Structure 1
């Protein structure tokens, strides 16, 4: 049986979940990723993927391809392509309709995205307002959860980056971006369930491997896709995740996923090039 965990928290967290619920009501489509967080306001939701067919939502497979650095391509069953932390440095053909960007450094964004990209989504605040994206493109729904980033001067810039979440074929796919701090209970509430988690494992430019492994363990996704590795031995991250997570090294750069073929044990999948 697939494992899931629910951790009881203080009633003071109710406000965070209320905020998530209100945001959900304003979204253009219901988010299956945060539905459980809404219905259980006194619970921190780690992850639970029900092993049932969602006939009206979960059709076909999503293909995820590692491109380089923190850039993954996500191709939906309906033919929508998105690129994460898009910088334009890696050739992509065909060009994605949607790109998400973070500005920690130039490897994660571009000021001049290809004009054929219909939806260039920045993850940073502008004009004093946090980025807020709730975009439906074909069978893809994209939303973001703002986070802070370190400045070059050593301080923190509020809402300087975002965690982006992609919903397609009934799957919830999260990209942590260039995450510089621990997540709060409010963050976890806004994120909700993640079947697939893209996590940086550089060991320090974002956060330590210890911190990242704790975040990944709490999110408890079925599939964990490392990224942003640089020279850090991948074995260090794997060992910190512990025996509860299987490991799957692939000789190809792509993986095809659906609700029906998610691994029964949470699995770290290392695609070629990572």
Structure 2
């Protein structure tokens, strides 16, 4: 089973104090740097036994919105459409425009940073590459279906690099990923994927995407109930399905294991 070396090589930029980070050079994506390129690479936990890596909490809010809370307290809402969030407005809100359930034209003025998954000007893709607190945020664009065919670069896969983890939210993904997409994304330890039977991708195509990314943790979203449960069962061998009674998942580098897990948080299943 393919897996990644992800532990020992992780840069420690985001473990530095805020003052040191301010003087550090611009970040280089560790998710791309450590992406698996060779066959038959096994996941290896090489961290010292005494090391306790920082933790990230991911909470299912609804539809395609997850709340990511970093060790330094940065709060990120994905595909934010105006949901009321525990603790008030997020520091960062990402949005995609395939449907109104993935963005809002009247965001809470308390949101610190809003990142659109589409370009500000027609024909220009969104290009995000920034550090907020202890998290490095970037995006990889994909196309979305329209009434006239496909709109190039209309959706963004947002990638959050924090606490040594590579966390990805694929937005409203409408096609399978090319080799170029996979290279730009790099390694994803956690991936949030829409499951809806075809509004985004059909089940088989979404399975192909998940198998190519081969993340340690898969968090389904977009639809809830029987369709989600059927999709998790369809993944079958190679993936362990976990039904959680909590809406939240707290993870760290030590949480990653093989085989990968499809975790259905409360509210999803």
Which of 247, 256, 259 is 1:253 aligned to? Answer: 247
TM-aligned CA distance change 1:158 to 1:3, over 3 Å: closer
TM superposition score normalised by structure 2: 0.85
Q: How does 1:1-274 map to 2 (within 5 A)?
A: 3-4=2-3, 28-37=26-35, 43=37, 50-53=44-47, 59-127=53-121, 128-151=123-146, 153-230=147-224, 233-274=227-268
- Contiguous gaps of at least 5 residues in structure 2: 5-24
| Kept in 1: contact 2:2–2:40 (CA 8 A) | no
Q: Is the partner of 2:31 in helix, strand or coil?
A: coil
| Kept in 2: contact 1:145–1:187 (CA 8 A) | yes
Residues 101-125 of structure 1: CA deviation (Å, up to 9, x unaligned): 0000100001221111111000002
Residues 114-163 of structure 1: CA deviation (Å, up to 9, x unaligned): 11111100000221211000110111111000111011x14111111100
| Kept in 2: contact 1:58–1:171 (CA 8 A) | no
Q: Which has the higher contact order (CA 8 A, sep 6+)?
A: 1
Q: Distance in 2 between matches of 1:31 and 1:65?
A: 24
Moved more, 100-109 or 222-231: 222-231
Per the TM alignment, residue 241 of structure 1 is displaced from its structure 2 partner at its CA by 1.3
| Kept in 1: contact 2:197–2:227 (CA 8 A) | no
| Kept in 1: contact 2:142–2:155 (CA 8 A) | yes
Per the TM alignment, residue 46 of structure 1 is displaced from its structure 2 partner at its CA by 11
Q: Is the partner of 2:245 in helix, strand or coil?
A: coil
Per the TM alignment, residue 91 of structure 1 is displaced from its structure 2 partner at its CA by 3.8
Name the residue aligned to 2:21: none
- Contiguous gaps of at least 5 residues in structure 1: 6-26
| Kept in 2: contact 1:68–1:90 (CA 8 A) | no
Per the TM alignment, residue 48 of structure 1 is displaced from its structure 2 partner at its CA by 6.7
TM superposition score normalised by structure 1: 0.83
Per the TM alignment, residue 230 of structure 1 is displaced from its structure 2 partner at its CA by 4.6
Per the TM alignment, residue 93 of structure 1 is displaced from its structure 2 partner at its CA by 2.3
| Kept in 1: contact 2:233–2:241 (CA 8 A) | no
Residues 213-269 of structure 1: CA deviation (Å, up to 9, x unaligned): 110011111100000025652232123212110011000100100001223320000
Root-mean-square deviation over aligned CA pairs: 2.5
Q: Is the partner of 2:34 in helix, strand or coil?
A: helix
Aligned length: 247
TM-aligned CA distance change 1:227 to 1:266, over 3 Å: same
